Each structure stands twice: as structure tokens, then as C-alpha cells.
Structure 1
Amino acid sequence: MRALKVLTGFSLFILLLMPLTTLKAQDASKADPEHYKVEVDNDKVRILRISYGPGEESVMHSHPEGVAVFLTDHKAKMKTGDGESFEMDGNKGDVMWLEKSKHQPSNIGDKPFELIQIELKDNRNVPGYKSLHLFELPEGVTEKQISDHLKEMNQALSEEGYHNTGYHLYKLPGQNTENYQYFLEGVWPDAATYNKAHNSEKWKKTAEKGREMIEKIRAKELYLKATKVE
């Protein structure tokens, strides 16, 4: 198995400095779709297929941290976000860890080169906005009914493009509270996303299916909205 390629000298020094630069450049696939094609995109990773012909150059763009797998030999020049530049070359099969970066690559070789870049997504982000519900099970409503309905709503949110949002149901230990049996948490990046998501057609259509059940819960629930303190 080929080990991760280790860069030496000036190239390594520049790559280590890249995370310290201000990353305001545009996403690679939007800034330069000619050279960057999205192959896979989910809530964990995005995988790009990158290809450059001889002499071709990109525009300044950014990437999160991840891994590059080179499918061909390569010789490239890299301009960084802080105005520096360096050259790099390597072989087919090289694997390289990449820090978060802002750069502008170009192919300075006489042959095309291609690579796969696996961009990691940060799933540890703390939600900036939450909706909080404490309630007892209303008469005629079961735990499974609520759980199934929340799964449908979360699926609708995902299909509308609102990833890392949605609802989570918890059952409270009896000794901790005498008034409420369940805690329902809605998780959102911010209040604006919360409002947009609740106005999306797919979410409203799905929510309507459980409207009667939710109204029974709301009749006696303790409902709060909370914003993260920075």
C-alpha cells in the first residue's frame, strides 16, 4: 500500500501555512466547473474529480481539509491565498493529506493530470438555534407515531437541502420530572434557516400529515426557542 506522500522544503512550509490564510475564495466546483466535477456529495464528504490539460489554469478558490489521490503523474504550480507560489510534482498513485486552503493551481507540465479530492465536512458544528418542546403523551397518541412522523419531517428537510437540521425525540427519566415525559429538540444552524425550512413546500406538506397529533401535543407542551450564546 502506498503511504501518504510527504512534501519537503518550501512546498511543505507553504502547505503548513495555508490554514492561517483568510479563506474567502469561492467553492471550487462553482468557481471552476470546467476543472472540478462533483462525483459524490452527502452530509459526511464531498468527492471531486479534478482534471487539467497542459497549460490550463484555474481561478482562486478554496477547499476544506481532506485527501487527494492522484490518478496520473502531475506537475503543477500553486498560487496561495497569501500571494506566495510554489511548484509541485509527483506520480500516479500518490496520496496526500490537504489542510483547509485557498489557492489557484495550474498545470505546468506537457501532459494532462487528474486526481480525486475527498473533502471532509465538519459534522461537529454546534447548532446556533434550537426549538425545545417538553410534553406528555396526549390521549390517543403513541411514542411510535411521534417518532415516525419526525422521521418523515427530517427526510423532507433533507430532500429540500436542509442538512444537519431536524427533530430528535427523547424520553425523560421519571425521577427527573413530574410534569413531562418527553423532550423534543429541533436543531438548526440559525433562525433564518429555521424560518426558511418551515416555509418549504415539502416540509409543510409533510407536517400537515401529523397536524392533528402535533396540535394535541402543543395544547399542553412547554415550548421554547433558544439561540446559542457566542
Structure 2
Amino acid sequence: MKKPFIITEVIVFLLLFAPLLNLHAQDAAKIDPDHYTVEVDNEKVRVLRINYGPGEESKMHSHPEGVAVFLTDHKANMKTEDGKSFEMAGEKGRVVWVEEARHQPKNVGDQEFEVIQIELKNNHTAAGKKSLHLFELPEGVSEKQLNGFLEEMNAAIAEEGYPGAGYYLYKITDENANYKYFLEGVWPDAATYDKIHDSEKWKNAAAKGGEMIDKIRANELYLKAEKVN
């Protein structure tokens, strides 16, 4: 007999309490590659294959919102950063929506536990703060160079526990525009913006492209914007 109330309890927990958890949990694929394998990673989604043997436990980490597809029956204990924990269980074939979460799972069953998690990226509508840069590419700087630098910056931001935040480069197609490039910085809120920019990982990544960014900043139009509620 199916037991949907168990899954429902998990979803309710994530909806109510995930926003209250410490924001410094990290990317599961970076800190726990033994249990988390990246199957697909593009500008829209990242797909993780998650596999735990009986009794195996992860490290504290974070996930953005997305969809979980359970490939096996499972029984797990989920520890949160405030020291609390709860148990979840479900059957093979379950497909559930999951909100952003930070947790430390442990397989407390006697069978292997496997799940596919589809993490959504670029949920710009949920951004509470944006930084906007309009510019021309300066001499000696190519699109490829700038895009590669932004990928490194976004990787550093994800390692800080914010895989949904970061920088996105666009080429302006309006021939009458004063600028040809548009760089958008996407942040959950103003407080997170400050935390990321004060982090050592962000500062170290930013330093690598310092000369290139200084050239861009010399003639850019730079604005900060916050969501109107």
C-alpha cells in the first residue's frame, strides 16, 4: 500500500523551514562526489544522480528548487544545520517537487537508495536583487575570455552554497543601442549579495579577472536594482 503522507510531510518541512537554515551549506557535487554525480549541466538545469549504500551518510550541503525522482524504495534521516533531524521514507517511482533545501542525508534503510534530482537554474523571477552592467568589449578582451571568467565566478558562488546566483552575459541585438553587451548579476536578496561579495571564494575568483574587469568598468553603465514587493 502506498503511503503518500510521508512524502507530503517532507515537502511541508522543506516549504516551511528550508528558508530558515544556514546559508553557508555547500554544493553536494563538490563536497560529496562519492554520493552525487552530475549527469547533465547546462544553463537551464543540473541533473544529479544520488546514490547511498545502507548506512552511508553525506555532508551538509544545499540544493536549489527542482524535482526529485526516486529510483528505489528508501528510508533516510535528514539532518538540518540547526541540529534537528527528521525521517523520510517512500517508494520507488515517486516524483516530487522540492523547494530549496540544506541538509545532511543518511540512508537508514538496509537497501541501496538512489534518486535523480533535477535542479533548476536561472530562476530570475525570484531574484530579490540584480546588478546590471552595460558595456562594449574593450580591446584585448573577447567574448570567450569573459564567458570563461564568468563561469569561474559562478562556480565559486555555487561552492559558497548559492548555485542559483551569479552572472549571465547577453549580446544586445538592437543595432541602435549605445552598448553591445549586457551583464546581469542575479542574487536572492541584498543580504546574500553582500555575503557572497565578502566571501573569500568570490574574492579569489574575482582577482583572477581583475585586469579584464577594470577595462570593462572604465566605460560601463552600472546599476543595482532590488525587487519591488
TM-score, length-normalised on structure 1?
0.65
2:105 aligned with 1:102:
no
Residue 59 of structure 2 aligns to a residue whose secondary structure is coil
Alignment of 1:122-201 (within 5 A): 122-124=122-124, 125=127, 127-132=130-135, 154=143, 157-158=146-147, 162=151, 164-172=168-176, 183-189=179-185, 196=209, 199=212
Provide the residue aligned with 1:81 in structure 2: 81
**What CA distance in whole angstroms lies between the structure 2 residues aligned with 1:198 and 1:169?**
27
RMSD after superposition: 3.4
Residue 209 of structure 2 aligns to a residue whose secondary structure is helix
**What CA distance in whole angstroms lies between the structure 2 residues aligned with 1:197 and 1:168?**
24
Q: Structure 1 7/157 Cα, relative in aligned 2: closer, same or farther at 3 Å?
A: farther
Q: Which amino acid aligns with 1:228?
A: K
Provide the residue aligned with 1:117 in structure 2: 117
Whether contact under 8 Å (1:169, 1:183) holds in the other structure is no
Structure 1 unaligned regions, length at least 5: 134-152, 173-180, 201-222
Whether contact under 8 Å (2:11, 2:98) holds in the other structure is no
2:14 aligned with 1:15:
yes
Q: Which amino acid aligns with 2:35?
A: H
**What CA distance in whole angstroms lies between the structure 2 residues aligned with 1:194 and 1:154?**
19
**What CA distance in whole angstroms lies between the structure 2 residues aligned with 1:45 and 1:25?**
20
2:80 aligned with 1:70:
no
Quote how far apart the aligned CAs of 1:105 are: 0.3
Quote how far apart the aligned CAs of 1:195 are: 8.4
Q: What is the percent sequence identity of the aligned residues?
A: 46
Residue 171 of structure 2 aligns to a residue whose secondary structure is strand
Provide the residue aligned with 2:44 in structure 1: 44
2:190 aligned with 1:226:
no
The worse-fitting range, judged by mean Cα deviation, of 160-169 and 106-115 is 160-169
TM-score, length-normalised on structure 2?
0.65
Quote how far apart the aligned CAs of 1:23 are: 2.1
1:209-230 per-position Cα deviation (integer Å, ceiling 9, x unaligned): xxxxxxxxxxxxxx54213155
Q: Which amino acid aligns with 1:225?
A: L
**What CA distance in whole angstroms lies between the structure 2 residues aligned with 1:198 and 1:49?**
39
Whether contact under 8 Å (2:172, 2:181) holds in the other structure is yes
Q: Which amino acid aligns with 2:13?
A: I
Residue 40 of structure 1 aligns to a residue whose secondary structure is strand
**What CA distance in whole angstroms lies between the structure 2 residues aligned with 1:195 and 1:167?**
23
**What CA distance in whole angstroms lies between the structure 2 residues aligned with 1:47 and 1:9?**
23
**What CA distance in whole angstroms lies between the structure 1 residues aligned with 2:181 and 2:130?**
11
**What CA distance in whole angstroms lies between the structure 1 residues aligned with 2:82 and 2:183?**
36
1:61-97 per-position Cα deviation (integer Å, ceiling 9, x unaligned): 1111111000111111111122221111111100111
**What CA distance in whole angstroms lies between the structure 2 residues aligned with 1:6 and 1:39?**
30
Rg larger in 1 or in 2?
A: 1
Q: Which amino acid aligns with 2:169?
A: T
Structure 2 unaligned regions, length at least 5: 137-141, 152-166, 187-196, 198-202, 214-218
Provide the residue aligned with 1:213 in structure 2: none
